Structure 1
Amino acid sequence: MANRDEHTLHQLLQRLADGEYHSGDELGDWLGISRAAVWKQLRKLGEVGLPLESVRGRGYRLTGGLELLSERRLREALSLEANRLVTALDVLSVTDSTNARAMLRAAEGQSGYICLAEQQTAGRGRRGRTWVSPFGQNLYLSVSWGFDGGATQLEGLSLAVGVALCEQLAALGLKDLGLKWPNDLLWREQKLAGILLEMTGDPAGHCCVVIGVGLNMAMPESAALSIEQPWVDLATACVAEGCEVPGRHQVAAGLIERLVLLLKDYHHEGFSSWRQRWECRDAFRNREVLVSSGTSSRSGIARGVDESGALRLEVEGEYTLCHGGELSMRPVK
C-alpha cells in the first residue's frame, strides 16, 4: 500500500509540476481515484512543504511549478564516458538520506552508483548536523566509488569535489564563489553547498567512499529557519549577479559528469592536480580563522593547504597542519 500511495503521489506531482491550475475532477480522472482520495494526496504536498494554491472554480496548482528530476533526462545529458562510469542511477521521491542509500551499495562493493532524491527526511552534514532538505527545491546527490590501495588515496578528495562543484557553477555563469576548508562552497561568504564524505571497507586495502553533495537551489525561507549560519541559494545568487538561473537537471547532470571523471583518475592524480585550483578559490586565505574540534579550538592565519589537503595554519609564526576529520573552521570577525 505504501508503494502504491507513493506512486500516486508521484503521478500527482507530475501533473501539477507545470504550475497551472488543475481541477479536482481532472486530477481524479488522471490518477484513477476519487475526489476524496485526491484531497488526501493534496494534503501530503503541504506536509512536505510544497506551496499548493487552491482557487474555487479553477482548482489547484503548485505556485511556480516544479522541476522533478528524471533518470532518463539525466542519462541523456551525460557523455558516453560518464554513462559508462555510472553503473546505476536512482532518483528517489523521498528517502532518509542519499548518503545512507549509497552507503548500502558501497557496502555491497558497488562502484559508480548515483543516488538523488527530491527530499531527505534525515539528511546529514558534517559532525552530525542536520541538512535541511525541502521537497523538490534543492539538490541532494550521493556517489559511491571504489578504491584499491586504502584510504590514503582519498586524501584531499573532499576539497577536489568542492573544486568540481565550484567549476560547474562557474561554467553556468556564477562568479562570486569561494571554498571554505574543508568542504563548504560559499557565495559571498554565505553557504551555498556542503560536501560529506563517508567510507566503508578496508582502510588499508579495497574501500568504498560515498560523496554526498547538498546544494541549495531555491530554498524556501520557511524551510531554512533552523539553519544556524549565513546561507544562500543558487536562484538568489544568480539573480543578484544577473545570470540565468539554471534548472535542476542542468546542474545535476553537469555535476555528475564532473564527479565521475574526477573519481576515475583520482587514484592516479591525487589532490596534487587540484591543489592550485582549490587555493585560487580559497575564501579565507591569509585571514584569521578559528579551527575547532568537539573539545578544543585554536586561532591562527589560514595559509592555504598542503599536498594532502590539510589546512596550513600559522600560529605565532609557526605552521601547523590541520587535517579535516571532525575539525571545522570559521573566520574570526
Structure 2
Amino acid sequence: MLSVLLALLADGKFHSGQDLGNALGVSRSAVWKQMQLVQALGLEVYSVKGRGYRVPGGIDLLDAEKLVAGFDPGVAGKIELQPVEYSMPSTNAAALAGFADLSAGCRLYVAEQQTAGRGRRGRQWVSPFAANLYFSLTWQFTNGVAALEGLSLVVGVALLRGLRQLGVNDVSVKWPNDLLWRNRKLAGVLLEMAGDASGDCNVVIGVGLNVNMPRQEMNDVDQPWVDLTEIMGKVPSRTEVLSAMINALVPTLEEFVKEGFSGLRDEWQAANGFQDQPVVLQTAQHSIQGVCRGVNETGALLLETGSGTEAFHGGEVSLRAS
C-alpha cells in the first residue's frame, strides 16, 4: 500500500484524501495513517483542508524497469538486479548476506534509504529517502586478496567515467575512495570482502553518490559536501544516473580483471585532486606530513617526506589538505 501511495504522491501535486482512499481501497482515516508512514521516511507532507496532501517537489523514485532498460547491451545480461527496497539498514550488509547463495555473475542491491549506512572507519553515511544513490554491486575475483590491489581507486575511475557521460566534469579523486568536486565530497566507496583470502573471493562494492541532498540534512554531515543538483542545476532522474554509473562500473571492473590497477593508474593520476600538494596522512597511530606524489602500480599512496618517498597502503587512513 505504501508503494502505491508514494507513486501517487511522486508528482508533487495535491491529491484529495478521497481520491487517495479510492486508489488504495481504504478509508480517508486509513489514508491519514499511511501519511504518517510517509513522514516517517523523512518526507515532508503538506496537508491542506479542501485540497488534500502533497509532497512538495515530488519524489524522484527509482524505477527498476527503466533502470534495466538503461543498461548498455554489454552490461544488462551480467547484472542480477535485486528488488529495489524503500528502506534497509545497508545495501552492503544485504549484499554480504546474499553471498550465501550467490550465483554466477554479479548482483546489484539498491535502496531508496539506508538506516545504517556506513562509510570508511565506521562513519555514518547520511541517507535521506529518495534523495541520493545508495547501491552495492557484488563481484567475484579468483586470485584472492592480491588481485584486489587498487580496486577502490578503480571504482573511483569508473564513477568518474559515468559522471562524464552525464556531462559532469571537474570531479577529482581523493585517495583511496572519495570523489570530490571543488574539494567537497560528492561520492564515497566502501569495499567489503567475503571468501578465501588466497582463492575465490566475493567483493561488495558499496557506493554513495549525492544527487539531491535535502538542505536540512546538511547539519548531519561532518565535512564539506556537494550534490549533482548544485553542480548540474537540472539533474537527470536518479534512475538515469544509476544506469550511467553501472554502465561505467561493469566494463571498468572487467578491464581491471584483465589488466590490474596498472592499466588504469594514469587515468586515476590525472584526476588526483591532491597531486603534488602538501598533505597530512593520518593513521590510527600516526600523523605524517608530506607531499602527495600520486600512487604506485598497486594503488598505494606515494608520500614524499623528509625521509624520501614512501608507499602507504589502504586501511585505517584518511587524507586531508595540509
Which category of TM-score, normalised to the shorter sequence, fits these structures? over 0.9
Separation (CA, whole Å) in 2 of partners of 1:87 and 1:227? 32
Partner of 2:91: 98
Determine helix, strand or coil for the equivalent of 2:246: helix
Partner of 1:134: 128
Match runs of 1:276-315 below 5 Å: 276-315=266-305
Letter in 1 for 2:32: W
Partner of 2:231: 237
Determine helix, strand or coil for the equivalent of 1:312: strand
Match runs of 1:231-270 below 5 Å: 231-239=225-233, 244-270=234-260
Partner of 2:319: 329
Determine helix, strand or coil for the equivalent of 2:186: strand
Instruction: Pick one of 9, 14, 29 that aligns with 1:21.
Output: 14
Contact 1:71/1:89, CA 8 A, preserved across alignment? no
| 1:88 equivalenced with 2:81 (yes/no) | yes
The number of residues matched between the two structures is 321
Letter in 1 for 2:300: A
- Quote how far apart the aligned CAs of 1:271 are: 0.7
Letter in 1 for 2:318: S
Separation (CA, whole Å) in 2 of partners of 1:177 and 1:263? 20
Separation (CA, whole Å) in 2 of partners of 1:272 and 1:106? 29
Determine helix, strand or coil for the equivalent of 1:303: strand
1:161-220 Cα distance to aligned partner (Å, 9 max, x none): 111111211221222211111000011100011000000000100000000000111111
Contact 1:94/1:117, CA 8 A, preserved across alignment? yes
Partner of 2:33: 40
Determine helix, strand or coil for the equivalent of 2:82: strand
| 1:192 equivalenced with 2:186 (yes/no) | yes
Determine helix, strand or coil for the equivalent of 1:197: strand
- Quote how far apart the aligned CAs of 1:266 are: 2.2
Instruction: Pick one of 149, 152, 166 that aligns with 1:155.
Output: 149
| 1:59 equivalenced with 2:52 (yes/no) | yes
Determine helix, strand or coil for the equivalent of 1:93: coil
| 1:143 equivalenced with 2:152 (yes/no) | no
Contact 1:90/1:114, CA 8 A, preserved across alignment? no
- Quote how far apart the aligned CAs of 1:226 are: 1.6
Separation (CA, whole Å) in 2 of partners of 1:246 and 1:285? 31
* Range with greater deviation from structure 2 (157-166 or 254-263): 254-263
Determine helix, strand or coil for the equivalent of 1:307: coil
Separation (CA, whole Å) in 1 of partners of 2:37 and 2:218? 20
Contact 2:279/2:321, CA 8 A, preserved across alignment? yes
Separation (CA, whole Å) in 1 of partners of 2:164 and 2:257? 26
- Quote how far apart the aligned CAs of 1:51 are: 2.1
Partner of 1:120: 114
Over the aligned positions, Cα root-mean-square deviation in angstroms equals: 1.3
Separation (CA, whole Å) in 2 of partners of 1:10 and 1:149? 42
Separation (CA, whole Å) in 2 of partners of 1:107 and 1:284? 40
1:291-311 Cα distance to aligned partner (Å, 9 max, x none): 112232111100011111111
- Quote how far apart the aligned CAs of 1:314 are: 0.3
* Dislocated runs of 4+, deviation >3 Å: 107-111
Percentage of pairs with the same residue: 47
Contact 2:300/2:313, CA 8 A, preserved across alignment? yes
Separation (CA, whole Å) in 2 of partners of 1:290 and 1:216? 26
Contact 2:72/2:247, CA 8 A, preserved across alignment? yes
Separation (CA, whole Å) in 2 of partners of 1:288 and 1:184? 18
TM normalised by structure 2 equals: 0.96
Determine helix, strand or coil for the equivalent of 2:192: strand
- Quote how far apart the aligned CAs of 1:238 are: 1.3
Partner of 1:5: none
Determine helix, strand or coil for the equivalent of 1:90: coil
- Quote how far apart the aligned CAs of 1:317 are: 5.5
Partner of 1:172: 166
| 1:215 equivalenced with 2:209 (yes/no) | yes
Separation (CA, whole Å) in 1 of partners of 2:179 and 2:79? 25
- Quote how far apart the aligned CAs of 1:62 are: 1.1
Separation (CA, whole Å) in 2 of partners of 1:297 and 1:322? 12
| 1:228 equivalenced with 2:206 (yes/no) | no
Contact 2:166/2:244, CA 8 A, preserved across alignment? no
Determine helix, strand or coil for the equivalent of 1:95: coil
Letter in 2 for 1:191: K
Contact 2:162/2:247, CA 8 A, preserved across alignment? no
1:258-316 Cα distance to aligned partner (Å, 9 max, x none): 11222234221111121111111111101111111223211110001111111100001
Partner of 2:23: 30
Separation (CA, whole Å) in 2 of partners of 1:119 and 1:85? 25
Letter in 1 for 2:11: D
Letter in 2 for 1:274: L
